[in-house]
Chains A and B, each alone.
Chain A
Amino acid sequence: MTQSAAPPPPKIALAGVHKSFTDKSVLRGVDLEIGRSESLVVIGGSGTGKSVMIKCILGLMRPDAGDIEVDGDSVVGLSRSERSEFMTRVGMLFQGSALFDSLPVWENVAFGLIQGRRMHRAAAREVALAKLAQVGLTEDVGNLVPAELSGGMQKRVALARAIATDPEIIFFDEPTTGLDPIMGDVINELIVQCVRELGATALSITHDMASARKIADRIAMLHEGRIVWVGPPAAIDDSGNPYVDQFVHGRAEGPIRMPVRAR
């Protein structure tokens, strides 16, 4: 559905993005374009800079060099208020769910509406309960606090929170990590369904190939801070790229050497 006749400007474009920390350079020139309403999945081993890439796009980290554009406008170095404005168009599912443990579930989901958009609490609660229903959770769950939920349920709540403000762009950071295969598949289904319903652009990072195949329109592989391969999920099994081959088949032997030390 992404290959339309006249190519529209990319929703998100990264050009030569570099980011390094005191002793290690993590991103070494990432070039990547994500089309409107496309679901792109970035795969790569642990510590290859996948999370750092998403944080750079979100502005939680500032890239050392390179540019990141959303709808053709640079989002690097926005002011606090511009950043806050940009965030109203964005949803993010964190790896560890990152739910606010002091607030009940429904208020977690409604947070972006109440605090970010200044919606009235009662109205925001209605929206939150509808979003919870969309991910298969009832009103009873909405009144619990996050600590009372299992990991899979927390992921669902986090997903509901990410889509609560009907964002144009949604980021998924390792959406299935730490879940059993069945719950992982449930989350994958929900992601596909939610993204399609919103018509949103999705950027996911994962090292779970089952998840990548399920939710991706296109897959990109990040290795040593650069994108080394991009292609449709169907082509990933015979990509002809030794890095992708090794990753997809999960072999210890190959061109990719796993660093023992994290940064």
Chain B
Amino acid sequence: MGFVQAIGRAFLTLLSTIGRLVIFVSAIAASLVQPPFYPRQLGRQLVQIGYYSLPVVGLTTLFTGMVLALQSYTGFARFNAESAVATVVVLSITRELAPVLAGLMVAGRIGAAMAAEIGTMRVTEQIDALTTLSTDPIRYLVLPRVLAGLLMLPLLVVVGDIIGVFGGFLIAVYRLDFNAANYLQATLEYLEPIDVISGLVKAATFGFLVSLMGCFHGFNSRGGAQGVGAATTGAVVSASILILICNYIITQLFFAR
């Protein structure tokens, strides 16, 4: 009986979480079309998410591009297909690795920070204080963060695409003795706009998910320091899992025939 109860309880918790999430998202959507807006808050979040995540995303994609060139070269050398290295690097980076890895890194960096900050505001009654000062916390705290995530992650991924391809180029030219001009030509030869665009659509989705999960878990945290810790964990884990699931779905939408 206890086992069945446990399953039932978990299922009910899941349903109520989904319900709260739907209400949360519709409140965000409603605040999008009706003033007041808080441009100052939005600006702060754009800088926080976009500018300050550049080093993390840059380093991640640089080394990913480098290792990709090395791995695909050693793999393809077994059947004399070394010339495919440039294409493999650029397609993997733009379609998959830059958006997914940037999304996961930003989930760790930004989603966790949002959940901790908003969660602390919740348990110290700062969110209630906002309400008593005639300021809707959804508009003031959540909407700027969600918009900033949605807008900045594609920009980060554009930069990440370039740095990642550049990383592959460095290894190919300076370590694997490719001709630089040939490598660049091969890079661009099979690259189509849809490869980059699909990556940017993914990035926007992931940015939205990271901010949404950070805000949602922070907003619903309770019970002091432990609750804030749980909210932070929940934000990062749920954002990461949702990123991986959505990544598959978006890929299927774009490329499956």
Contact = CB atoms under 8 A, between A and B. Distances in A.
Contact of B132 (A87, A101, A118): A87
A98 B125 contact: yes
Contacts of B38: 115
A94 interface: yes
A262 to B, nearest CB: 11
Interface string B124-141: 111011011111100010
Nearest to B134: A116
B131 A87 contact: yes
A95 B134 contact: no
A58 B132 contact: yes
B36 interface: yes
A85 B126 CA distance: 19
Interface in B176-218: none
Contacts of A115: 36, 38, 133-135, 140
B134 A84 contact: yes
Contacts of B36: 115, 118
A229 interface: no
Contacts of A111: 133, 135
A203 to B, nearest CB: 13
Contact of B134 (A55, A88, A101): A88
A92 interface: yes
Interface string B11-54: 00000000000000000000000001010000000000000000
Residue from the set A60, A80, A83 with the largest chain B CB neighbour count within 10 Å = A80
Given A115-B38, A118-B36, A91 B128 contact: no
A90 interface: yes
A181 interface: no
A96 interface: yes
B124 A96 contact: yes
Given A115-B38, A115-B140, A98 B131 contact: no
Interface in B102-140: 121, 124-126, 128-129, 131-136, 140
Contact of B133 (A59, A85, A112): A112
Interface in A165-200: 165
A96 B140 CA distance: 21
B140 A60 contact: no
A99 B125 CA distance: 9
A94 B125 contact: yes
Contacts of A116: 133-135
Contact of A90 (B121, B128, B132, B135): B132
Given A115-B38, A115-B140, A118-B36, A94 B133 contact: no
A117 interface: yes
B236 to A, nearest CB: 22
Nearest to A116: B134
Residue from the set B38, B121, B132, B133 with the largest chain A CB neighbour count within 10 Å = B133
A114 B132 CA distance: 14
Contacts of A55: 128
Contacts of B129: 92, 94, 98-100
A61 to B, nearest CB: 10
Contacts of A87: 131-134
B40 to A, nearest CB: 10
A87 B125 CA distance: 16
A100 B133 CA distance: 12
A224 B249 CA distance: 53
A80 B136 CA distance: 8
Given A95-B125, A100-B126, A115-B38, A60 B131 contact: yes
Nearest to B128: A60
23 contacts: A55-B128, A60-B131, A80-B136, A84-B136, A87-B131, A87-B132, A87-B133, A87-B134, A94-B125, A96-B125, A98-B124, A98-B125, A98-B126, A98-B128, A99-B129, A100-B129, A111-B135, A115-B36, A115-B133, A115-B134, A115-B140, A116-B135, A118-B36
Interface of B: 36, 38, 121, 124-126, 128-129, 131-136, 140
Interface of A: 55, 58-60, 80, 83-85, 87-88, 90-92, 94-96, 98-101, 111-112, 115-118, 161, 165
Given A100-B129, A116-B133, A117-B134, 13 more contacts: A59-B131, A80-B136, A84-B135, A88-B134, A92-B128, A92-B129, A96-B125, A98-B126, A112-B135, A115-B38, A115-B133, A115-B135, A165-B133
